[in-house]
Chain A
Amino acid sequence: DQQVKQNSPSLSVQEGRISILNCDYTNSMFDYFLWYKKYPAEGPTFLISISSIKDKNEDGRFTVFLNKSAKHLSLHIVPSQPGDSAVYFCAASARTSGSRLTFGEGTQLTVNP
């Protein structure tokens, strides 16, 4: 039972344009959501998070939107840069399960110059 899903395994975007990465979840107990970026042969790097009491969180070029009724979140990167090319993982946790992270399968973002 995959509780966190990233349905697009890959996304290709032109430099300077917006990248939108999507994530869906099924567990209504999830109350904290995170995005991580991962370069090859490196560990995931924390990007941005959002609590379930909010619907938007912004940090520089990165904005995360949460739609609780649809159990959907998205990461917007504006403007996209070639250095943003990486695998992006969505993750979720619930206080009721000890804050254990459940990861999506990841989306490979490629930003073309």
Chain B
Amino acid sequence: DAMVIQNPRYQVTQFGKPVTLSCSQTLNHNVMYWYQQKSSQAPKLLFHYYDKDFNNEADTPDNFQSRRPNTSFCFLDIRSPGLGDAAMYLCATSIRGRGGQETQYFGPGTRLLVL
């Protein structure tokens, strides 16, 4: 089945220790997104890649970086995690065409805990 996969599902890191979350997709979608979701809140978009073009949201902290080495994979790097970065991190994909109306498909998420 075509899908969005996130590994690991749960990640524990120490305060200030860099951590990388990964996302892969078999949908062959050209757009990949990273969201942060804290409990009981709406997902917050951090950035997205449209093919190789990186699009950062204006309020995304510099502590968050992303890489997309190929169509299938996208990584979220948190350079120096703080306690406030503990959250669910969601990867999503969509296909962007000329129509402009995209449906985003989400992975299961990675729950990050910062000690």
Q: Which A residues fall within an 8 A CB radius of B?
A: 31-32, 34, 36, 41-46, 49, 51, 89, 93, 95, 98-101, 103-106
Q: Which B residues fall within an 8 A CB radius of A?
A: 4, 6, 40-43, 45, 55, 88, 90-92, 94, 96, 100-109, 111
Q: Contact at A106–B42, with CB atoms within 8 Å?
A: yes
In the docked arrangement, what's the CA distance between A31 and B109, Å? 27
B43, B101, B105, B108 — most chain A CB neighbours (10 Å): B101
Q: Contact at B109–A42, with CB atoms within 8 Å?
A: yes
User: Residue of A at shortest CB range from B94?
Assistant: A99
15 A-B interface contacts by CB (under 8 A) = A31-B101, A32-B102, A41-B88, A43-B90, A43-B91, A43-B106, A43-B109, A44-B90, A45-B106, A49-B101, A89-B42, A89-B43, A99-B94, A99-B96, A99-B101
In the docked arrangement, what's the CA distance between A93 and B88, Å? 22
Q: Contact at B55–A98, with CB atoms within 8 Å?
A: yes
Q: Contact at A105–B42, with CB atoms within 8 Å?
A: yes
Task: Give B12 Cβ to nearest chain A Cβ, in Å.
Answer: 15
Q: Contact at B109–A41, with CB atoms within 8 Å?
A: yes
A99 / chain B contacts, CB cutoff of 8 Å: 94, 96, 100-102
Task: Give A30 Cβ to nearest chain B Cβ, in Å.
Answer: 11
In the docked arrangement, what's the CA distance between A75 and B55, Å? 31
Task: Give B33 Cβ to nearest chain A Cβ, in Å.
Answer: 8
In the docked arrangement, what's the CA distance between A51 and B100, Å? 11
In the docked arrangement, what's the CA distance between A100 and B50, Å? 12
A34 / chain B contacts, CB cutoff of 8 Å: 103-104
Task: Give A44 Cβ to nearest chain B Cβ, in Å.
Answer: 5
